[in-house]
A and B are shown apart, each in its own frame.
Chain A
Amino acid sequence: MDLTHSPADEEFRTEARAWLRAHVPRTPLPSLETEEGFAAHRAWEAELAADRWSVVSWPERYGGRDAGLLRWLVFEEEYWAAGAPGRVGQNGVSLLAPTLFAYGTQEQRARVLPPMATGEVVWAQAWSEPEAGSDLAALTSRAVRTDGGWRLRGQKTWSSRAAFADRAFGLFRSDPAAPEPHQGLTYLMFGLRDPGVTVRPIGRLDGKPAFAELFLDDVFVPDEDVIGEPGQGWRIAMSTTGDERGLTLRSPGRFLASAARLRDLWRAQGSPEHSRARVADALIAARAYQLFAYAAASRILDGARLGPESSMNKIFWSELDLALHETALDLLGAEGELADGAWSEGYVFSLAGPVYAGTNEIQRDIVAERLLGLPKGRR
């Protein structure tokens, strides 16, 4: 039991802190869910990448620093504490990249990862379909075999970042005759500006085009853009969703920083009694999330894998994120209603937390069935 970082890790922290202090924009960038903001965030990714801070956990040859899991956690604490911008490349970095490290070819890594690290190519995820959300295996978009590759047909929707992103990754049904819905799926990558792709931005609650629907009409994907074996898409994708719900999508540093800002806001408002408990609980929950992550990281470093416990993680951070932002808006009173406030954007984003990456109801089913051993039943 040790919560002290090694001197080398603390040195890494000091270096990251100094760099961030010198580079984090003094005024917040415009929302990354707008065209202008997307471009500004892309430039920020490039600035991070120039000094190899955009993907610290990756191998050096792809633009990273070979930083281990603990250093990644340290970096994230510093990153969010410094008030640095949200990461426009997150879908690629936290979902596609781990998949490529696990299942991709050398050629795919060398081709896909470096421009992802610099923000030159921003990735969107293309999982959901109109009839396949939480029941992802119900997806019907097809990948049909053709000379040297596949042709995609169908529709994807609620595709985060797709309004302005460059490329997407997702699952397609390549063998409709497979006996089970989880079989006969293939995981592949395609360009959002390729012939046959139509992107229709969808405004989220605040009207910003944070996601889009994609219409795919005979879109050609060469074999080199298939990840893993055709037909093995489900297994590959599940390893990615585990990462999504687990540590990488929402690092503890983010919530520690938000909770500290909430406490500062509460004090600035004269420490009102009515919000005392909510502010204290948010601080404590952020700390619990950090320590839970340290424990998980320690287990991973011992060779364990994050299994169904990543579902508890997802339930916890999504509820914490909502609680943090709701408390902040309540503290702000009339000012909290303004859509351009610093907390408002985060609030709108936090509303989606219990829905995406597998609804919290699905996560609770996973916890109940796989951690508690309760019998399967009707949903």
Chain B
Amino acid sequence: MPEHISLLRIPMGQTVRLQSLASLHPSLRRRLTDMGIDEGSIIRLKKISLLGGPIVIECNGQLIGLRQNQVKQLEVVPTWT
């Protein structure tokens, strides 16, 4: 079983599998699941803005912007291990 790491710790452009969304704010979690992003989804970190601004992730060909402080506890598992 590979270790979970925070989404913000993975290298840009790498794909990872979402392990748990439990730590997210409930509204945010619902919006993500509405967009088809849930535990087990494969996502890719596309962009990190300056000064702790939003990040952009890609999932199933859609691009989604989220705040860093909202997703820092998001646990992911690298797909390359």
Specify whether A and B are partners.
Answer: no
- B: which residues have CB within 8 A of A? none
